[in-house]
Structures are given as C-alpha cells and as structure tokens.
Amino acid sequence: MAKFYSSLSEIKGGLQSGKITVEELVKDYLSQIEKNAHLNAFNEVFGQEALQQAKDLDKRLKQGKTGKLAGMVIAIKDNICYKDHKVSASSKILAGFKSIYSATIVERLLAEDAIIIGRCNCDEFAMGASNESSYYGPVKNYADETKVSGGSSGGSAVAVQAGMCHAAIGTDTGGSVRQPAAFCGVVGLKPTYGRISRHGLIAYASSFDQAGPITRSVEDAALLLEVMAGADEYDSTTAQKPVPAYAADLKKSTEKKKIAYLQESISSPGVDSEVKNTLINAIDKLRAEGHTVKPIAFEYLDYLVPAYYILVTAEASSNLARFDGVHYGYRSPAATDLVTTYKKSRSDGFGKEVKRRIMLGTFVLSAGYYDAYYAKAQKVRRLIQEKTDKIFEEYDFILMPTAPEPAYSIGKEVTDPVVSYLADIFTVQASLTGVPAISLPSGNNSKGLPLGLQLLAKHFNEQELLNFSKYFMEL
Ligand code: GLN
C-alpha cells in the first residue's frame, strides 16, 4: 500500500533517518500508477528514467549535496515541454512529437532535484473542465471512478490524489489547476500572471496561461512556487520582481483579515447546496475567529464567462495556427499538396472542442466582428480588473467556491457547450485579472466527493495568500 506523505518535509525526514530511499519511493509510486492505470491519469510514465534518477539522488543524498526538491517525485501535465520526451497536449495532432527543449519551469525543477515520473493526461490543448476532451479519454476521479477528475489538469490532480506521485504541475488558463484540485481534494495554486515563466508550455491563451503546483499541502505549493517563479529571458511577460522565499517564510497567518465573498455564491440557485454550506461554514468560522467577512456584489458577474471565452478562443485560434501538419506531429496521410496538408491534418488532428474554439476565436477576430466581440471583451476585461482592484483596496482576500458543484458523472450528456463553460464562473475572475488564487480542500460532501474553496489575493501577494491558506486549512 502506497504511503501518502503529507508534505516533502515528511519525506525528507524519512530520507534523513534512513527509513526510506528515493528509489523505494519511486518504486512505490510506480506500483501505485500500475495499480491505478485504469484511472487514465498518465499519458506516459518515465519509469526507468525516474528509477535511475532516484538511484543517483540516493547516492548524492549520502554526500549531502542535493537541491531543495530532493525526494519530491512529481508529474507534469502533458502540455509542458521536457527535452527529448514526448509532449502531446492530449491531442492527436501532436502524436509522436518530441520536445526539443525543456520548459524553463522543468529546468528549474530538475535543477533542484525533482524527479519527473511521467506526463499527465489533460483536456486537449487544456480546453475543458472535465478532462473529457482529451484524445486519450477521460481521467477517472479516485474518490469515485464514475466521476470526472475535473480539468483541464485532470490527470495531474488524480495523480496526486491517488498517490501516484507526490505533487504535480498543471497549467491554469481559466481554472485548470484549481478546479481539478477541488474535485480531487488537493491544493491547487494559480500564481499571479507573470510570476512563472510560460516558456515551454504549449500555449492556449497567452495572456492567461500560468503554470501552477498541485499538492497535498500548502507548504509544498509554496516550495514549488519558489522554485518555479521568477524572471526568464525567454518569456518577456515574466515579472522582474524578486522571488520571495515562499517556503521558508511560510508562516501560519495570525492577523485579523478582511475577507469579501460573492453574495451570489450563496444566493444563486446554480450553486450546489453542499458547496454553499461549505462556504457558509467557512465564513462562520472566520467570523468567530475575529476576521471581518462581508458579502459583496460583483456587478460584472454575468460578463465573466462570456468575456473569458471570447478572449481565450481568440488567442487560441492564433496560437493553434502553428499546428499545420508541416511543423509538428501528425500529418494526414490523405494530404496531396500544401492546402490539403493543412486542411486534412487539422481536420483529423484536432478534436471537436478544439475545432469549436478555433472557429469561435477566428470569428470574434474577423474584420466585421472584431469591434463587436474581441475589442468589447477587452474593454470588459479592463472593467473587471478595475472592479477587482477596488475590492482589494478594501479587502485582503476574496473567498468563493472553486466550482459551483462537485465532480459530476463522466459522460454526462452536455448538448450545449455554454452549460459547461458556465461552470467556470468562479475560476475565471482570477484569470481575467491575473491575480493569484488558490483552491483548498474543504472536506467531502455527503457522497464522499471532495469540495474546494478558493481564495484570491492581490497581484503578487502569494506569500500572504499562502500564509493565510495554511491558517485556513487548520481552521
Ligand atoms: N475550463 C476552462 C476552459 O476550458 C479553463 C481551462 C484552463 O484553465 N486551461 O477554457
């Protein structure tokens, strides 16, 4: 039986006392991966390689020359490039493609002695919230295999939930780290836009995409953030701000805070009643502890999802133009010339959801509609940013559910994609505004399904967010 370590410091304790070795740890994870292969969390496992790295690390541990992440066995979402390893974004169009360089975050993680055990299933090109758009099929939730894992970093979340690795790295464009973390009962952090380099992530919507850790503890999230964060010459959108020692400075928050929560997350009929109760309980506890917790009305609530989907599909239609049957992966065998290479490779290579979004994005950017949709959505984004900044002038955090309902059944008939898009209501505000947000496990519902609550903080206030999260988890 695999042991679920709550944090890397617990693992380190075991390594130092000689109770365990990294090799044994990796073997444990590999056997857990094998036992749970039917959950479909991994697109590929780097078993032999991880074992070899573990042996080398065990030797170096004896010499005392190791990085901050020694003993941390992680999985990465399959849209993060790792040199000489395949990367597919769970799409047929990238079948067989190997990365020729590593993402900056991968280099930073490896430099601190993380071991990467495999690449995880996700929604195709990270488009989705249930992992069902993956070319490789849905990921099953470890808490209930008939339920979705959430998405798009579904495989990453289940890999952590089921003890197939200690932590995982996902990417979050509109909730893809936080929502699967909530569905799987683990911690998911989306840092401030620009805090972590996007170099080497397969782009979905470049003005939204951020990588983030999925972990079993706030402590590990802080540590992984610390390792991955910081300026990068290969990504001009990274902030030049120095990176705090998030992990070393992680202290359970002791001050009284001002917290806002969205009135609608309690009053709206669209929010599951047990999700509401979890939020109400948290509010009551915080108030009892002396924090100021007040409801706020967010007048742009109805515009969050439409603005998000117009902007991300526009960016996606541009980003995905490079998959043309010439440069990467799949080329249709039926292609006879350049135009049919493009057409047939893209028609066969992309799944339905990706095609829908490329078409929608192309439409909102087209000459006659640009002003009506794309330009307008940009203006709405600005209004949402200004309103959010205003809230943060008065409050330290915004508290809300991560998702309006717990994990739902795999294959639930969804005839209208807009219905699925609306489920992103609570996660896209942080994405549109670029502020950091964390999903924290908040118990299970009456059916044993995990629930998550989300906290948003001011730009670059990750330290305060993490400190408060640590406190919140022990409340
Ligand atoms: N569900 C959202 C979408 O489909 C978020 C996905 C993500 O964050 N990658 O766009």
The catalytic position among 7, 91, 149, 152 is: 152
Judge if the beta carbon of residue 128 lies within 6 A of ligand 1: yes
Judge if the beta carbon of residue 172 lies within 6 A of ligand 1: yes
The catalytic position among 130, 176, 317, 345 is: 176
The catalytic position among 68, 77, 140, 147 is: 77
Mutate to test the pocket of ligand 1, among 183, 193, 312 (most ligand atoms within 8 A of CB): 312
**Ramachandran quadrant class, 445 (left: phi over 0; alpha: psi -120 to 50; beta: rest):** beta
- Which structural domain, as residue segments, surrounds residue 41? 8-228
How long is the chain? Answer: 475
> What's the 11 CA to ligand 1 centre distance in angstroms?
33
* Whole-number pLDDT of residue 1: 45
> What's the 424 CA to ligand 1 centre distance in angstroms?
8
Q: What angle in degrees, to the nearest 10, is found between the helix axes of 301-319 and 352-365?
A: 100
> What's the 377 CA to ligand 1 centre distance in angstroms?
17
* Ligand 1 atom at minimal distance to the Cα of residue 126: 9
Mutate to test the pocket of ligand 1, among 78, 121, 122, 123 (most ligand atoms within 8 A of CB): 123
> What's the 139 CA to ligand 1 centre distance in angstroms?
16
Mutate to test the pocket of ligand 1, among 132, 173, 305 (most ligand atoms within 8 A of CB): 173
* Ligand 1 atom at minimal distance to the Cα of residue 176: 8
Judge if the beta carbon of residue 175 lies within 6 A of ligand 1: yes
**CA dist 29 → 5, 45, 167, 202 (Å):** 11, 11, 11, 27
What lies within 8 Å, CB to CB, of 393 at 6+ separation is none
Judge if the beta carbon of residue 176 lies within 6 A of ligand 1: yes
Pairing of strands 450-456, 437-444: antiparallel
**CA dist 400 → 227, 273, 408 (Å):** 28, 14, 19
Task: Assess if residue 378 is contained within a domain.
Answer: no
Judge if the beta carbon of residue 204 lies within 6 A of ligand 1: yes
> What's the 119 CA to ligand 1 centre distance in angstroms?
19
What tokens appear for 274 in the block? 């047990």
> What's the 459 CA to ligand 1 centre distance in angstroms?
21
> What's the 178 CA to ligand 1 centre distance in angstroms?
10
How far is it, in rounded angstroms, from Cα 190 to Cα 198? 13
Please indicate, yes or no, whether the overall pTM of this predicted structure exceeds 0.95. Answer: yes
Position 145, amino acid: E
Structural domain total, the chain:
1
Judge if the beta carbon of residue 424 lies within 6 A of ligand 1: yes
In 94-161, alpha helices (H): 104-111, 154-161
In 203-250, alpha helices (H): 218-228
Task: Assess if residue 312 is contained within a domain.
Answer: no
What residue's CA is closest to ligand 1, atom 10? 127
Task: Assess if residue 416 is contained within a domain.
Answer: no
> What's the 1 CA to ligand 1 centre distance in angstroms?
34
Task: Assess if residue 436 is contained within a domain.
Answer: no
Judge if the beta carbon of residue 312 lies within 6 A of ligand 1: yes
Judge if the beta carbon of residue 180 lies within 6 A of ligand 1: no
* Ligand 1 atom at minimal distance to the Cα of residue 421: 1
Task: Assess if residue 29 is contained within a domain.
Answer: yes
Task: Assess if residue 290 is contained within a domain.
Answer: no
Looking at residue 120, which CATH number applies to its domain?
Answer: 3.90.1300.10
- Contact assessment for residue 27 and residue 51, using Cβ atoms and an 8 Å cutoff: yes
* Whole-number pLDDT of residue 64: 87
What tokens appear for 420 in the block? 């699925």
How far is it, in rounded angstroms, from Cα 9 to Cα 147? 32
> What's the 361 CA to ligand 1 centre distance in angstroms?
14
Judge if the beta carbon of residue 152 lies within 6 A of ligand 1: yes
Pairing of strands 144-148, 140-141: antiparallel
Task: Assess if residue 387 is contained within a domain.
Answer: no
- Tell me if residue 176 is catalytic: yes
* Ligand 1 atom at minimal distance to the Cα of residue 177: 8
- Tell me if residue 152 is catalytic: yes
Task: Assess if residue 217 is contained within a domain.
Answer: yes
How far is it, in rounded angstroms, from Cα 108 to Cα 114? 9
The pLDDT averaged over each successive group of 10 residues in the chain (475 residues) is: 84 95 98 98 98 97 94 98 98 96 98 98 98 98 98 98 98 98 98 98 98 98 98 98 97 95 93 97 98 96 97 98 94 96 97 98 96 97 98 98 97 83 95 98 98 98 98 95
Full DSSP string of 268-314: -TTS-HHHHHHHHHHHHHHHHTT-EEEEE--TTHHHHHHHHHHHHHH
